[in-house]
Protein backbone atom coordinates (compact mmCIF):
# COMPACT_ATOMS: atom_id res chain seq x y z
CA UNK A 1 0.00 0.00 0.00
CA UNK A 2 1.31 3.44 -0.93
CA UNK A 3 0.89 5.75 2.05
CA UNK A 4 1.39 9.52 1.91
CA UNK A 5 2.45 11.05 5.21
CA UNK A 6 2.07 14.77 5.84
CA UNK A 7 3.65 16.84 8.64
CA UNK A 8 1.73 19.90 9.88
CA UNK A 9 -1.32 20.60 7.70
CA UNK A 10 -2.35 24.07 8.93
CA UNK A 11 -5.60 23.86 6.99
CA UNK A 12 -3.97 23.44 3.55
CA UNK A 13 -6.01 20.45 2.38
CA UNK A 14 -6.61 21.70 -1.16
CA UNK A 15 -2.89 22.02 -1.83
CA UNK A 16 -2.06 18.66 -0.26
CA UNK A 17 -4.64 16.71 -2.26
CA UNK A 18 -3.85 18.53 -5.51
CA UNK A 19 -0.14 17.91 -5.26
CA UNK A 20 -0.60 14.25 -4.34
CA UNK A 21 -2.60 13.91 -7.54
CA UNK A 22 0.25 15.60 -9.41
CA UNK A 23 2.71 13.11 -7.93
CA UNK A 24 0.48 10.23 -8.92
CA UNK A 25 0.35 11.46 -12.51
CA UNK A 26 4.08 12.16 -12.67
CA UNK A 27 5.21 8.90 -11.08
CA UNK A 28 2.51 6.57 -12.43
CA UNK A 29 1.40 5.25 -9.05
CA UNK A 30 -1.70 5.51 -6.88
CA UNK A 31 -1.61 6.77 -3.29
CA UNK A 32 -4.00 4.67 -1.23
CA UNK A 33 -3.96 6.45 2.13
CA UNK A 34 -2.99 9.85 3.56
CA UNK A 35 -1.83 10.26 7.18
CA UNK A 36 -1.58 13.76 8.71
CA UNK A 37 0.47 14.28 11.87
CA UNK A 38 -1.39 17.13 13.52
CA UNK A 39 -2.16 20.86 13.36
CA UNK A 40 -4.88 19.70 11.00
CA UNK A 41 -7.23 22.58 11.85
CA UNK A 42 -10.70 21.13 11.30
CA UNK A 43 -12.39 24.53 11.25
CA UNK A 44 -16.08 24.29 10.35
CA UNK A 45 -16.95 27.97 10.73
CA UNK A 46 -15.73 31.21 12.30
CA UNK A 47 -16.97 30.24 15.77
CA UNK A 48 -14.68 27.20 15.78
CA UNK A 49 -11.78 29.61 15.27
CA UNK A 50 -12.48 31.03 18.72
CA UNK A 51 -11.53 27.64 20.19
CA UNK A 52 -8.11 27.47 18.51
CA UNK A 53 -5.13 28.59 20.61
CA UNK A 54 -3.30 30.83 18.16
CA UNK A 55 -2.82 34.61 17.94
CA UNK A 56 -5.69 36.41 16.23
CA UNK A 57 -3.80 36.92 12.96
CA UNK A 58 -3.55 33.12 12.49
CA UNK A 59 -7.27 32.49 12.95
CA UNK A 60 -8.07 31.67 9.35
CA UNK A 61 -10.76 29.31 8.05
CA UNK A 62 -8.45 27.29 5.79
CA UNK A 63 -9.80 24.62 3.46
CA UNK A 64 -11.42 22.06 5.77
CA UNK A 65 -14.91 23.63 5.86
CA UNK A 66 -15.34 22.86 2.13
CA UNK A 67 -14.89 19.14 2.81
CA UNK A 68 -17.09 19.33 5.91
CA UNK A 69 -20.03 20.91 4.07
CA UNK A 70 -19.71 18.71 0.97
CA UNK A 71 -18.54 21.47 -1.35
CA UNK A 72 -15.50 19.27 -2.00
CA UNK A 73 -14.76 15.57 -1.43
CA UNK A 74 -11.55 14.12 -0.04
CA UNK A 75 -10.11 12.03 -2.91
CA UNK A 76 -8.05 9.79 -0.60
CA UNK A 77 -8.93 8.08 2.67
CA UNK A 78 -7.34 10.45 5.18
CA UNK A 79 -6.51 9.70 8.83
CA UNK A 80 -5.45 12.56 11.09
CA UNK A 81 -4.34 13.22 14.64
CA UNK A 82 -4.43 16.51 16.54
CA UNK A 83 -1.62 18.90 17.34
CA UNK A 84 -1.47 22.06 19.42
CA UNK A 85 -3.17 24.41 16.95
CA UNK A 86 -6.63 22.90 16.50
CA UNK A 87 -10.32 23.64 16.87
CA UNK A 88 -10.27 21.70 20.12
CA UNK A 89 -14.06 21.83 20.53
CA UNK A 90 -14.61 19.71 17.40
CA UNK A 91 -11.86 17.24 18.31
CA UNK A 92 -13.41 16.89 21.77
CA UNK A 93 -16.76 15.97 20.16
CA UNK A 94 -14.92 13.00 18.62
CA UNK A 95 -12.66 12.17 21.56
CA UNK A 96 -12.87 8.43 20.77
CA UNK A 97 -12.34 9.07 17.05
CA UNK A 98 -14.73 9.62 14.18
CA UNK A 99 -15.35 11.13 10.76
CA UNK A 100 -14.48 14.83 10.65
CA UNK A 101 -15.84 14.91 7.12
CA UNK A 102 -16.58 12.22 4.52
CA UNK A 103 -13.40 10.18 3.97
CA UNK A 104 -11.46 12.14 6.64
CA UNK A 105 -11.15 10.24 9.93
CA UNK A 106 -9.85 11.59 13.25
CA UNK A 107 -7.99 8.94 15.25
CA UNK A 108 -9.14 10.53 18.52
CA UNK A 109 -7.15 11.89 21.43
CA UNK A 110 -5.62 8.41 21.31
CA UNK A 111 -6.57 5.49 19.14
CA UNK A 112 -5.78 2.56 16.91
CA UNK A 113 -7.54 1.49 13.72
CA UNK A 114 -6.75 -0.79 10.79
CA UNK A 115 -6.64 -0.09 7.08
CA UNK A 116 -6.68 -3.38 5.19
CA UNK A 117 -5.07 -5.08 8.16
CA UNK A 118 -2.34 -2.44 8.70
CA UNK A 119 -2.55 -1.26 12.32
CA UNK A 120 -2.27 2.51 12.73
CA UNK A 121 -2.08 3.94 16.25
CA UNK A 122 -1.56 7.50 17.38
CA UNK A 123 -1.65 10.15 20.09
CA UNK A 124 -2.95 13.68 19.57
CA UNK A 125 -1.61 16.83 21.22
CA UNK A 126 1.68 17.76 22.86
CA UNK A 127 3.27 16.97 26.23
CA UNK A 128 3.22 19.37 29.18
CA UNK A 129 4.11 17.91 32.56
CA UNK A 130 1.78 20.14 34.61
CA UNK A 131 -1.28 18.68 32.85
CA UNK A 132 -0.04 15.14 32.17
CA UNK A 133 -1.54 13.50 35.28
CA UNK A 134 -4.79 15.47 35.35
CA UNK A 135 -8.19 14.37 34.15
CA UNK A 136 -9.93 15.91 31.14
CA UNK A 137 -11.47 18.79 33.07
CA UNK A 138 -11.85 21.33 30.25
CA UNK A 139 -15.36 22.55 29.46
CA UNK A 140 -16.74 25.10 27.02
CA UNK A 141 -16.55 28.00 26.88
CA UNK A 142 -12.77 27.64 27.15
CA UNK A 143 -10.77 30.23 29.03
CA UNK A 144 -7.16 31.15 28.28
CA UNK A 145 -5.79 28.15 30.19
CA UNK A 146 -8.24 25.43 29.19
CA UNK A 147 -8.00 26.37 25.51
CA UNK A 148 -4.39 25.18 25.79
CA UNK A 149 -4.54 22.41 28.35
CA UNK A 150 -7.20 20.53 26.37
CA UNK A 151 -4.60 19.52 23.76
CA UNK A 152 -1.99 18.48 26.35
CA UNK A 153 -1.42 14.71 26.37
CA UNK A 154 -2.80 12.89 29.41
CA UNK A 155 -1.33 9.91 31.21
CA UNK A 156 -4.71 8.20 30.76
CA UNK A 157 -4.13 7.96 27.02
CA UNK A 158 -0.45 7.01 27.26
CA UNK A 159 -1.35 4.14 29.59
CA UNK A 160 -4.08 2.95 27.22
CA UNK A 161 -1.76 3.05 24.22
CA UNK A 162 0.96 1.20 26.14
CA UNK A 163 -1.35 -1.83 26.40
CA UNK A 164 -1.52 -2.31 22.64
CA UNK A 165 0.35 -5.06 20.90
CA UNK A 166 2.76 -3.91 18.19
CA UNK A 167 1.21 -1.52 15.64
CA UNK A 168 2.63 -1.13 12.14
CA UNK A 169 2.50 2.68 12.23
CA UNK A 170 2.39 5.21 15.06
CA UNK A 171 1.49 8.88 14.57
CA UNK A 172 2.33 11.68 16.97
CA UNK A 173 2.57 15.46 16.76
CA UNK A 174 5.41 15.74 19.28
CA UNK A 175 8.70 13.98 18.65
CA UNK A 176 9.62 11.22 21.13
CA UNK A 177 12.18 12.58 23.59
CA UNK A 178 15.83 12.34 22.41
CA UNK A 179 14.88 10.69 19.11
CA UNK A 180 17.48 12.96 17.51
CA UNK A 181 20.19 10.80 19.14
CA UNK A 182 19.23 8.01 16.73
CA UNK A 183 19.86 10.12 13.63
CA UNK A 184 22.19 12.83 12.34
CA UNK A 185 22.19 15.29 15.24
CA UNK A 186 24.77 17.60 13.70
CA UNK A 187 22.85 17.76 10.45
CA UNK A 188 19.72 18.68 12.41
CA UNK A 189 21.59 21.43 14.28
CA UNK A 190 22.96 22.89 11.07
CA UNK A 191 19.38 23.42 9.91
CA UNK A 192 17.83 24.22 13.30
CA UNK A 193 20.57 25.68 15.54
CA UNK A 194 17.97 26.86 18.08
CA UNK A 195 17.39 23.19 19.03
CA UNK A 196 20.86 23.00 20.59
CA UNK A 197 19.87 23.92 24.15
CA UNK A 198 17.02 21.40 24.31
CA UNK A 199 19.19 18.70 22.72
CA UNK A 200 22.06 19.30 25.15
CA UNK A 201 19.68 19.15 28.13
CA UNK A 202 17.80 16.09 26.82
CA UNK A 203 14.56 18.06 26.65
CA UNK A 204 13.80 17.87 22.95
CA UNK A 205 10.58 15.92 22.54
CA UNK A 206 8.08 14.07 24.73
CA UNK A 207 9.25 11.58 27.41
CA UNK A 208 5.99 9.56 27.39
CA UNK A 209 6.21 9.13 23.63
CA UNK A 210 9.73 7.75 23.81
CA UNK A 211 8.43 5.33 26.45
CA UNK A 212 5.70 4.25 24.03
CA UNK A 213 8.18 3.87 21.17
CA UNK A 214 10.37 1.61 23.29
CA UNK A 215 7.35 -0.36 24.51
CA UNK A 216 5.34 -0.74 21.29
CA UNK A 217 8.25 -0.85 18.82
CA UNK A 218 6.19 -0.01 15.72
CA UNK A 219 7.75 -0.44 12.30
CA UNK A 220 7.16 3.23 11.46
CA UNK A 221 6.79 6.35 13.60
CA UNK A 222 5.78 9.65 11.98
CA UNK A 223 5.78 13.08 13.69
CA UNK A 224 5.55 16.79 12.89
CA UNK A 225 5.47 19.87 15.17
CA UNK A 226 9.11 21.04 14.91
CA UNK A 227 8.85 22.02 11.24
CA UNK A 228 11.83 20.13 9.91
CA UNK A 229 12.32 16.82 8.13
CA UNK A 230 14.41 14.37 10.16
CA UNK A 231 15.10 10.66 9.89
CA UNK A 232 16.21 8.23 12.58
CA UNK A 233 16.33 4.50 13.18
CA UNK A 234 15.77 3.15 16.69
CA UNK A 235 17.19 -0.37 17.03
CA UNK A 236 15.53 -2.42 19.74
CA UNK A 237 16.94 -5.37 21.63
CA UNK A 238 20.62 -4.74 20.83
CA UNK A 239 21.82 -3.37 24.15
CA UNK A 240 22.67 0.34 24.03
CA UNK A 241 20.84 2.29 21.37
CA UNK A 242 22.76 3.80 18.48
CA UNK A 243 24.16 7.26 19.07
CA UNK A 244 23.74 10.30 16.87
CA UNK A 245 27.23 9.81 15.43
CA UNK A 246 26.48 6.28 14.20
CA UNK A 247 22.94 7.01 13.05
CA UNK A 248 21.91 7.31 9.42
CA UNK A 249 22.59 10.59 7.64
CA UNK A 250 19.67 12.80 6.68
CA UNK A 251 18.51 11.81 3.21
CA UNK A 252 18.79 14.25 0.30
CA UNK A 253 15.73 16.19 -0.73
CA UNK A 254 12.71 13.94 -1.25
CA UNK A 255 11.95 13.71 -5.01
CA UNK A 256 8.26 13.39 -4.07
CA UNK A 257 8.35 16.68 -2.13
CA UNK A 258 5.38 18.96 -2.69
CA UNK A 259 6.10 22.56 -3.65
CA UNK A 260 3.13 24.88 -3.20
CA UNK A 261 3.30 28.33 -4.71
CA UNK A 262 1.82 30.63 -2.12
CA UNK A 263 3.16 32.94 0.54
CA UNK A 264 5.43 31.55 3.27
CA UNK A 265 3.70 32.90 6.38
CA UNK A 266 6.09 31.91 9.14
CA UNK A 267 4.68 32.06 12.63
CA UNK A 268 5.79 34.49 15.32
CA UNK A 269 7.49 33.57 18.55
CA UNK A 270 7.22 35.33 21.88
CA UNK A 271 8.58 35.06 25.41
CA UNK A 272 5.96 33.59 27.78
CA UNK A 273 4.50 36.12 30.17
CA UNK A 274 6.01 35.98 33.63
CA UNK A 275 8.97 33.89 32.49
CA UNK A 276 12.06 33.87 34.63
CA UNK A 277 15.26 35.45 33.23
CA UNK A 278 16.62 31.98 32.52
CA UNK A 279 13.56 31.02 30.49
CA UNK A 280 13.55 34.38 28.76
CA UNK A 281 17.08 33.70 27.58
CA UNK A 282 16.07 30.23 26.45
CA UNK A 283 13.12 31.63 24.53
CA UNK A 284 15.52 33.36 22.14
CA UNK A 285 16.69 29.91 21.03
CA UNK A 286 13.19 28.65 20.30
CA UNK A 287 12.04 27.70 16.82
CA UNK A 288 11.25 31.06 15.14
CA UNK A 289 8.66 29.32 12.93
CA UNK A 290 6.57 27.90 15.76
CA UNK A 291 3.49 29.71 17.03
CA UNK A 292 4.47 30.38 20.62
CA UNK A 293 1.74 30.62 23.24
CA UNK A 294 1.62 31.59 26.88
CA UNK A 295 1.71 28.73 29.40
CA UNK A 296 3.77 26.44 27.16
CA UNK A 297 7.01 25.83 29.08
CA UNK A 298 8.87 22.58 28.56
CA UNK A 299 8.69 20.06 31.40
CA UNK A 300 9.93 16.60 32.25
CA UNK A 301 8.40 13.30 33.29
CA UNK A 302 9.54 9.73 33.63
CA UNK A 303 8.63 7.57 30.60
CA UNK A 304 6.71 4.29 31.02
CA UNK A 305 8.81 1.16 31.66
CA UNK A 306 10.19 -0.59 28.62
CA UNK A 307 9.17 -4.13 27.74
CA UNK A 308 11.83 -6.69 26.75
CA UNK A 309 10.97 -8.26 23.39
CA UNK A 310 12.84 -9.53 20.34
CA UNK A 311 15.15 -7.25 18.32
CA UNK A 312 13.51 -4.97 15.78
CA UNK A 313 13.75 -1.48 14.31
CA UNK A 314 11.51 1.57 14.31
CA UNK A 315 11.95 3.90 11.36
CA UNK A 316 11.25 7.47 12.49
CA UNK A 317 10.46 10.29 10.09
CA UNK A 318 9.51 13.81 11.12
CA UNK A 319 8.10 16.14 8.49
CA UNK A 320 7.80 19.88 7.94
CA UNK A 321 4.71 22.04 7.51
CA UNK A 322 2.86 22.56 4.24
CA UNK A 323 4.68 25.51 2.67
CA UNK A 324 6.75 26.06 -0.49
CA UNK A 325 10.20 24.47 -0.68
CA UNK A 326 9.62 22.53 2.54
CA UNK A 327 9.93 18.77 3.07
CA UNK A 328 6.48 18.02 4.40
CA UNK A 329 5.38 14.97 2.40
CA UNK A 330 6.71 11.40 2.42
CA UNK A 331 5.49 8.48 0.29
CA UNK A 332 6.16 5.08 1.87
CA UNK A 333 5.29 1.55 0.80
CA UNK A 334 3.70 -0.56 3.54
CA UNK A 335 3.30 -4.31 2.88
CA UNK A 336 -0.27 -5.62 3.05
CA UNK A 337 -1.49 -8.99 4.27
CA UNK A 338 -1.65 -11.50 1.43
CA UNK A 339 -5.47 -11.72 1.46
CA UNK A 340 -6.08 -7.98 0.90
CA UNK A 341 -8.91 -7.41 -1.66
CA UNK A 342 -7.76 -5.81 -4.93
CA UNK A 343 -9.83 -4.85 -7.95
CA UNK A 344 -6.78 -5.12 -10.20
CA UNK A 345 -3.08 -5.81 -9.89
CA UNK A 346 -1.54 -3.07 -7.82
CA UNK A 347 -4.86 -1.37 -7.05
CA UNK A 348 -5.97 -1.34 -3.42
CA UNK A 349 -9.46 -0.84 -1.99
CA UNK A 350 -8.72 0.99 1.31
CA UNK A 351 -11.03 -0.25 4.08
CA UNK A 352 -10.98 1.42 7.48
CA UNK A 353 -11.88 -0.91 10.35
CA UNK A 354 -11.85 -0.80 14.12
CA UNK A 355 -9.03 -2.56 15.91
CA UNK A 356 -10.61 -5.12 18.30
CA UNK A 357 -7.77 -4.80 20.80
CA UNK A 358 -8.20 -1.02 20.98
CA UNK A 359 -11.95 -1.45 21.47
CA UNK A 360 -11.18 -3.76 24.37
CA UNK A 361 -8.72 -1.27 25.88
CA UNK A 362 -11.28 1.53 25.50
CA UNK A 363 -13.91 -0.54 27.29
CA UNK A 364 -11.60 -1.80 30.04
CA UNK A 365 -10.14 1.64 30.82
CA UNK A 366 -13.36 3.63 30.63
CA UNK A 367 -13.77 3.41 34.41
CA UNK A 368 -10.58 5.48 34.80
CA UNK A 369 -11.73 8.28 32.48
CA UNK A 370 -12.10 11.41 34.58
CA UNK A 371 -13.75 14.73 33.75
CA UNK A 372 -12.26 16.63 36.71
CA UNK A 373 -8.71 17.76 37.45
CA UNK A 374 -8.26 14.85 39.82
CA UNK A 375 -7.27 11.54 38.26
CA UNK A 376 -7.97 8.35 40.21
CA UNK A 377 -5.19 5.79 40.68
CA UNK A 378 -4.58 3.38 37.82
CA UNK A 379 -4.27 -0.40 38.22
CA UNK A 380 -0.88 -2.05 37.97
CA UNK A 381 0.10 -3.37 34.55
CA UNK A 382 -0.77 -7.02 35.29
CA UNK A 383 -4.26 -6.06 36.46
CA UNK A 384 -4.74 -3.71 33.51
CA UNK A 385 -3.79 -6.40 31.00
CA UNK A 386 -6.08 -8.91 32.69
CA UNK A 387 -9.00 -6.47 32.40
CA UNK A 388 -8.19 -5.82 28.74
CA UNK A 389 -8.17 -9.58 28.10
CA UNK A 390 -11.61 -9.88 29.67
CA UNK A 391 -12.84 -6.92 27.64
CA UNK A 392 -11.46 -8.47 24.45
CA UNK A 393 -13.55 -11.58 25.10
CA UNK A 394 -16.57 -9.28 25.44
CA UNK A 395 -15.70 -7.48 22.17
CA UNK A 396 -15.35 -10.77 20.32
CA UNK A 397 -18.67 -12.05 21.65
CA UNK A 398 -20.76 -8.87 21.41
CA UNK A 399 -19.29 -7.04 18.42
CA UNK A 400 -17.12 -9.21 16.17
CA UNK A 401 -19.34 -12.31 16.14
CA UNK A 402 -22.50 -10.25 15.70
CA UNK A 403 -21.10 -8.45 12.67
CA UNK A 404 -22.58 -9.15 9.27
CA UNK A 405 -21.34 -12.35 7.69
CA UNK A 406 -20.52 -10.63 4.40
CA UNK A 407 -17.82 -8.63 6.18
CA UNK A 408 -16.47 -11.58 8.13
CA UNK A 409 -12.86 -10.92 7.10
CA UNK A 410 -13.15 -7.25 8.11
CA UNK A 411 -16.11 -7.37 10.48
CA UNK A 412 -15.64 -3.98 12.10
CA UNK A 413 -15.95 -1.47 9.29
CA UNK A 414 -16.03 1.97 10.88
CA UNK A 415 -18.83 3.13 8.59
CA UNK A 416 -21.06 0.41 9.99
CA UNK A 417 -21.22 2.19 13.33
CA UNK A 418 -20.07 5.78 12.95
CA UNK A 419 -21.64 7.74 10.12
CA UNK A 420 -20.58 11.32 9.41
CA UNK A 421 -23.11 13.92 10.52
CA UNK A 422 -22.72 17.69 10.48
CA UNK A 423 -23.15 18.94 14.02
CA UNK A 424 -22.25 22.59 13.41
CA UNK A 425 -23.20 24.79 10.46
CA UNK A 426 -20.69 25.81 7.84
CA UNK A 427 -19.33 29.33 7.52
CA UNK A 428 -21.70 32.19 6.72
CA UNK A 429 -24.38 31.35 9.27
CA UNK A 430 -22.71 32.73 12.39
CA UNK A 431 -24.24 36.23 12.22
CA UNK A 432 -23.44 38.42 15.20
CA UNK A 433 -21.98 35.41 17.03
CA UNK A 434 -19.04 35.14 14.61
CA UNK A 435 -16.48 36.01 17.29
CA UNK A 436 -18.05 33.96 20.08
CA UNK A 437 -17.27 30.37 20.99
CA UNK A 438 -19.87 27.92 19.64
CA UNK A 439 -22.44 26.04 21.72
CA UNK A 440 -22.03 22.48 22.95
CA UNK A 441 -22.78 19.85 20.31
CA UNK A 442 -23.60 16.20 21.01
CA UNK A 443 -21.97 14.17 18.24
CA UNK A 444 -23.97 11.10 17.14
CA UNK A 445 -20.72 9.31 16.25
CA UNK A 446 -19.54 9.47 19.86
CA UNK A 447 -22.96 8.31 21.03
CA UNK A 448 -22.76 5.36 18.62
CA UNK A 449 -19.21 4.44 19.66
CA UNK A 450 -20.10 4.46 23.36
CA UNK A 451 -23.27 2.45 22.74
CA UNK A 452 -21.28 -0.12 20.76
CA UNK A 453 -18.87 -0.62 23.69
CA UNK A 454 -21.51 -0.36 26.39
CA UNK A 455 -19.82 2.61 28.08
CA UNK A 456 -21.22 5.93 29.25
CA UNK A 457 -20.88 8.92 26.93
CA UNK A 458 -19.14 11.41 29.18
CA UNK A 459 -17.62 13.28 26.24
CA UNK A 460 -20.64 15.17 24.91
CA UNK A 461 -23.92 13.91 26.37
CA UNK A 462 -27.05 15.87 25.50
CA UNK A 463 -27.03 19.25 27.31
CA UNK A 464 -29.80 18.24 29.74
CA UNK A 465 -27.49 15.55 31.20
CA UNK A 466 -24.26 17.56 31.31
CA UNK A 467 -22.34 17.78 34.57
Cβ atoms within 10 Å of 270's Cβ, excluding its own: 13
State phi, psi for 101 to the nearest 5 degrees.
-160, 165
Stronger pLDDT, 45 or 275, i.e. the higher one: 45
Q: In this structure, are residues 181 and 210 in contact, taking their beta carbons and an 8 Å threshold?
A: no
4-62 pLDDT per residue, tens: 999 999 999 999 998 899 999 999 999 999 999 999 999 999 999 999 999 988 899 99
- Structure confidence at residue 411 (pLDDT): 52
Residues in the chain: 467
Q: Give percent above pLDDT 70 in the chain.
A: 79
Cα 445 → chain centroid: 19
The mean of the pLDDT values for the chain is 84
140-176 pLDDT per residue, tens: 999 999 999 999 999 999 999 999 999 999 999 999 9
Q: What are residue 460's DSSP bridge partners? A: none
Task: Give yes or no for residue 289 having a pLDDT over 60.
Answer: no
- Of 170-179, 225-234, 252-261, where does mean pLDDT reach its minimum? 252-261
Task: Give yes or no for residue 263 having a pLDDT over 50.
Answer: no
Omega before 141 within 30 of 0, i.e. cis: yes
- Structure confidence at residue 96 (pLDDT): 98
Stronger pLDDT, 411 or 147, i.e. the higher one: 147
Stronger pLDDT, 274 or 436, i.e. the higher one: 436
171-186 pLDDT per residue, tens: 999 999 999 999 999 9
For the stretch 267-272, contacts whose Cβ atoms lie closer than 8 Å and that sit 24 or more positions apart, written own/partner, are 267/58, 267/291, 267/292, 268/55, 268/292, 272/296, 272/297
Q: What are residue 4's DSSP bridge partners? A: 34, 331
Q: What is the pTM of this model?
A: 0.85
Q: What is the DSSP string of 54-84?
A: S-GGG----SHHHHHHTSS--SSEEEE---S
Task: Give yes or no for residue 204 having a pLDDT over 90.
Answer: yes
pLDDT (average), residues 329-345: 79
Of the candidates 110, 70, 64, the one whose C-alpha atom is nearest the C-alpha of residue 87 is 64
Cα 15 → chain centroid: 20
Radius of gyration of the chain (CA): 21
**Alpha-carbon distances of 447 from 94, 155, 228, rounded to whole Å:** 10, 24, 38
pLDDT (average), residues 221-232: 97
CA distance 340 to 347: 10
End-to-end alpha carbon distance in the chain: 45
Confidence band (pLDDT; 50, 70, 90) for 238? low
Q: In this structure, are residues 333 and 361 in contact, taking their beta carbons and an 8 Å threshold?
A: no
Q: How many CA atoms lie within 13 A of 454 on its CB side?
A: 10
Of the candidates 208, 160, 229, the one whose C-alpha atom is nearest the C-alpha of residue 306 is 208
Task: Give yes or no for residue 293 having a pLDDT over 70.
Answer: no
CA distance 278 to 273: 13
pLDDT (average), residues 265-282: 34
**Alpha-carbon distances of 108 from 3, 31, 105, 239, rounded to whole Å:** 20, 23, 9, 34
Task: Give yes or no for residue 280 having a pLDDT over 60.
Answer: no
Task: Give yes or no for residue 392 having a pLDDT over 80.
Answer: yes
- Structure confidence at residue 57 (pLDDT): 87
- Structure confidence at residue 307 (pLDDT): 35
Cβ atoms within 10 Å of 221's Cβ, excluding its own: 27
Stronger pLDDT, 180 or 345, i.e. the higher one: 180
Task: Give yes or no for residue 459 having a pLDDT over 50.
Answer: yes
Amino acid sequence: MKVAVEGCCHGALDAIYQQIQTLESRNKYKVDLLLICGDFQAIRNHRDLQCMAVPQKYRQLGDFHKYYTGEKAAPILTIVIGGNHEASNYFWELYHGGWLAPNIYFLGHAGCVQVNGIRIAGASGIFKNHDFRQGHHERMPYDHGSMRSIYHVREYNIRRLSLLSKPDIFLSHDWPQSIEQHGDVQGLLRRKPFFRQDINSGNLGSPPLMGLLQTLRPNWWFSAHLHVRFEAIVRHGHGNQVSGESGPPVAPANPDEISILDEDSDEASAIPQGASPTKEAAAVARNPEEINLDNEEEDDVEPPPRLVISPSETKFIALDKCLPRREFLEIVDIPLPSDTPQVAVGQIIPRLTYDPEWLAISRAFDQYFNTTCHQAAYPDEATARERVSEALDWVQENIVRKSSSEDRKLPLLVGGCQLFVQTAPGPGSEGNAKFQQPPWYTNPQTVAFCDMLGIENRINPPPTTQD
